[in-house]
Amino acid sequence: MNNEEWRKYVIKEKKKYKKIGYVICPAFFDEKIYFNKHGFNHLIRKMGKPRPVNEQIRRIKLIPHALDILRSSDKVKVEKTNVINGYTAEFWSFSKKIGQKCIKVIVRQLKNGNKHFFSIMDKNVG
């Protein structure tokens, strides 16, 4: 995929991502998990630096799994609480085996704000 194709792909996927808005998550007693700019930015960047293009594409393609996992999970794992620039950031994870991969979804909450999708990753199992 050349730079122009990649750029168009990201623009198209970002529009689809924005349309999600939020999902209802049973693990948080039917609380809304928002799909906002923080989550999409983390798909394509890590600590402000662009991820490799193939990793960006792989993570973007996992978004439908994130929707399914958050909508259907009734168990959540507390990952950690950090203090970032003087405010609290809490993280939770959800995991599900799909085929030969384990998909892990990270939800984050900054200060006392809304919980939002933050990241998704996969790894081969078995």
Chain centre distance of CA 74: 17
Residue 13's Cβ-side half-sphere holds a number of Cα atoms within 13 Å equal to 20
pTM > 0.75: yes or no:
yes
Identify which of 121, 111, 106, 110 has the alpha carbon closest to the alpha carbon of residue 39.
106
Q: pLDDT tens per residue, the chain (126 residues)?
A: 788 898 899 999 999 999 999 999 999 999 999 999 999 999 999 988 999 999 999 999 999 999 999 999 988 888 888 887 788 899 999 999 998 999 999 999 998 899 999 999 999 886
d(CA 43, CA 60): 7
